[in-house]
Amino acid sequence: MLICTTPAEMQAACRHVRGSAHSLGLVPTMGALHAGHLSLVSAALTQNDAVAASIFVNPTQFGPNEDYAAYPRTFDEDCRKLTEAGVALLFAPTAADMYPSGNTTFVDPGPIATRLDGASRPGHFRGVATIVTRLFHIVQPDRAYFGQKDAAQAAVLRHIVRDLNLPVELVVCPIVREPDGLALSSRNRYLSAGERSRALALSRALAAAGDLAGHGETRAEALRAAMLSVFSVDAGPDAAPVRLDYAAVVDPDTLLPVADTSRGALLAVAAFIGATRLIDNLLIPAHEG
Ligand code: AMP
């Protein structure tokens, strides 16, 4: 695996790979890689002649009181995993490489960037849209791979790809979970044992609402109430607090609330488990009949 650290180096390496391979897939990450990330790499390997990955903890998508400095960085282990998986090229720039002084150009996706996580984390999706657009320009992949785990991010990226006519196909891959349902996340490593079990509230809330939807319930308020009831269970006096950020029933493309899920919907939750903010979601298929 060739590791590039500057945009110019990566651009040249990708030009070379695209010259010899028919198609190039890109898997953007912030590192601290787990099986969820590697599932994107596997999908990319099956659909492209060559695969590039990136590891960049992007400062512009973190708020001032968020975990940018503390975000887990496990570069050597990540390189080993990507090499074993068969990634040909890794882009691992520094923040100064991606945002040199005098850098003032950003990509603002508009109102969609203010919904779900965009409401709780102002500026987050502007940072995501900016870095992903830059990665697309540097790598010029045929396809780029993202996780359904970040459903709002996928919606924002679909939006900018369409608005900016970016010549890339977005591929959104299913959420990889632990056997007990917890969605894999680099941030799970922040959790203490007690917090780890409390974190199951997210997937359980979604499962409860999903069950109800599976039995024909299409009223968003009823599905939302099912999610809230899981979060309101008192975990006892020693429990680390679980603070719900949002539990929403929205259109998966616009991220706007829907009242009825007959035509399909996204159930999305975000919660703080102690100091750690986790997200999870479930897609409800269109109701048949
Ligand atoms: P991150 O490193 O957290 O920015 O994630 C990089 C990519 O991996 C994003 O497209 C995420 O949606 C995806 N991803 C993260 N966790 C999972 C998971 N549990 N299952 C599938 N994809 C994931």
Give the tens place of pLDDT for each residue, 56-104.
Answer: 999 999 999 999 999 999 999 999 999 999 999 999 999 999 999 999 9
* 40 C-beta closer than 6 A to ligand 1: yes
Structure tokens at 89: 């090229």
Identify whether the C-beta of residue 105 lies closer than 8 Å to the C-beta of residue 126: no
pLDDT at 235: 60
pLDDT at 239: 62
Rounded Cα distance, 47 and 50, in Å: 9
**pLDDT tier at 240 (50, 70, 90 boundaries)?**
low
Q: Which of 82, 90, 150 to mutate to test the pocket of ligand 1 (most atoms within 8 A of CB)?
A: 150
Q: Give yes or no for residue 22 having a pLDDT over 90.
A: no
Rounded Cα distance, 223 and 209, in Å: 5
Query: 200-214 vs 220-231: helix axis angle to the nearest 10?
Result: 150
Return the residue whose CA atom lies nearest to atom 13 of ligand 1: 147
How much is the average pLDDT of 30-36? Answer: 98
pLDDT at 148: 98
Closest to 208 measured CA to CA, from 196, 232, 225: 225
Rounded Cα distance, 154 and 161, in Å: 10
**pLDDT tier at 21 (50, 70, 90 boundaries)?**
confident
How much is the average pLDDT of 29-38? Answer: 98
- Atom in ligand 1 nearest the alpha carbon of residue 187: 3
Give the tens place of pLDDT for each residue, 221-235.
Answer: 999 999 999 998 766
Rounded Cα distance, 239 and 56, in Å: 34
**pLDDT tier at 206 (50, 70, 90 boundaries)?**
very high
> Is 37 annotated as catalytic?
yes
Q: Give yes or no for residue 113 having a pLDDT over 90.
A: yes
Q: Give yes or no for residue 172 having a pLDDT over 80.
A: yes
Rounded Cα distance, 47 and 52, in Å: 13
pLDDT at 289: 63
Of residues 289 and 162, more confidence is placed in 162
Considering the candidates 22, 34, 37, 159, report the single residue annotated as catalytic: 37
Q: Give yes or no for residue 288 having a pLDDT over 80.
A: no
Give the tens place of pLDDT for each residue, 131-157.
Answer: 999 999 999 999 999 999 999 999 999
Give residue 149 CA to ligand 1 midpoint distance, Å: 6
